[in-house]
Amino acid sequence: MTEYRKIKKVFKSKPTLEGAGVHLKRAFGFHEIKMFDPFLLLDHFGSNNPAQYIKGFPWHPHRGIETITYVLEGDVEHGDSMGNKGIISTGDVQWMTAGSGIIHQEMPKGDVKGGMYGFQLWANLPKSHKMMDPRYQEVKSANFPVVTRENGTKIKIVAGEIEGVKGPVTDIVITPQYLDVSLPANSNFAFPTTKGHKVIAYVFEGKGYFTKEKDLFSYEVEGANGNLSESTQIIDNESLILFDDGEAVEVTTADKPVRFLLFSGKPIGEPIAWYGPIVMNHEGELRAAFDELERGTFVKQHRA
């Protein structure tokens, strides 16, 4: 019999100000890192008011992680210290492996109506890959496969595989799944997961049930104010679900549809030393990184 994952905890995303003054919602981050290994942070950005995002994220460093930006609406201009530059637009994904170090900027521009919506996920790198060469996997919207089931469920595959269909982002250290799932009302989604991998879901439209045993609700719900509340059967917009271990995830809708991101990855299980946009294993490595920033030696020469 299939072992379906139960819900361990639910988090409500919290208003946060980042970059040069970008208003966003943080689903999880620094204070929850032990729970989400190999993932570090998930930000949900969205506004129809350019004043809340237009100052963007000016030049800043990254080392030891991967940042995955998924644009739902609008444009994001980006550039880096190695001369790379471009624009990711509605439906596009940029999977940036910072590795040994990169200095870049991300400047949201919004769409013609001023709307700017999307997500940024941070994934950790193991010690063996912390100092790998930086690289990009930038994929345009039209290149993502979408699996459509008979009940109308649509699954956009960013990374990983479902029903024999593979996503275009490949060769990732933590062997992740990254899916954008839309379920119609009165429907069901069941998805096999790798035992031992961390699995999380983030609801950003509608609501649904995220456990097979709907009469068992022993998990905690942490609100945007940080307080714990009684769990509820149905999970709605701007909620993050952390699952227990198991072989599959089941999601069911009632009279409303739901859309959510589903992430999974193999935990790294290493110590984390994190300050700002640099994530290493030990404090000494952090100090060395910031010393290199001051000396101008942070960005390494590419190996042939």
Count structural domains, the chain: 1
What is the CATH classification number for the domain harbouring 43?
2.60.120.10
Of residues 84 and 204, the one with the higher pLDDT is 204
Q: Has residue 9 got a pLDDT over 70?
A: yes
Host domain of residue 289: 7-295
pLDDT at 228: 46
Query: Residue 219: its pLDDT value, please?
Result: 64
Taking each continuous run of H as one helix and of E as one strand, the counts in the chain are 2, 27
pLDDT digits (tens, 9 = 90+) for 76-129: 999 988 888 889 999 999 999 999 999 999 999 988 889 999 999 999 999 999
CA dihedral (138, 143, 146, 147) in degrees, to 10, reads -110
Is 64 inside any structural domain? yes
Is 260 a domain residue?
yes
The pLDDT value given to residue 174: 84
Q: At 67, list the tokens.
A: 């940042």
Q: Is 14 among the domain residues?
A: yes
Instruction: Say which range, 33-37, 148-152, 154-158, has the weakest mean pLDDT.
Output: 33-37
- 188, HSE (Cβ side, Cα atoms, 13 Å): 6
55 lies in some domain: yes
CB 40 within 8 A of CB 65: yes
Beta bridge partners of 12: 239
| 31-45, 118-132, 211-225: least confidently modelled range | 211-225
pLDDT for residue 222:
74
In a domain, 168, yes or no: yes
What is the average pLDDT across 198-225? 79
Of the candidates 20, 97, 106, 28, the one whose C-alpha atom is nearest the C-alpha of residue 63 is 97
- Residue 304: pLDDT band with limits 50, 70, 90: very low
Does residue 301 form part of some domain?
A: no
- Given pLDDT bands bounded at 50, 70 and 90, which one contains residue 223? low
- Given this model, what pLDDT does residue 88 score? 95
**Quick check: is 56 in a domain?**
yes
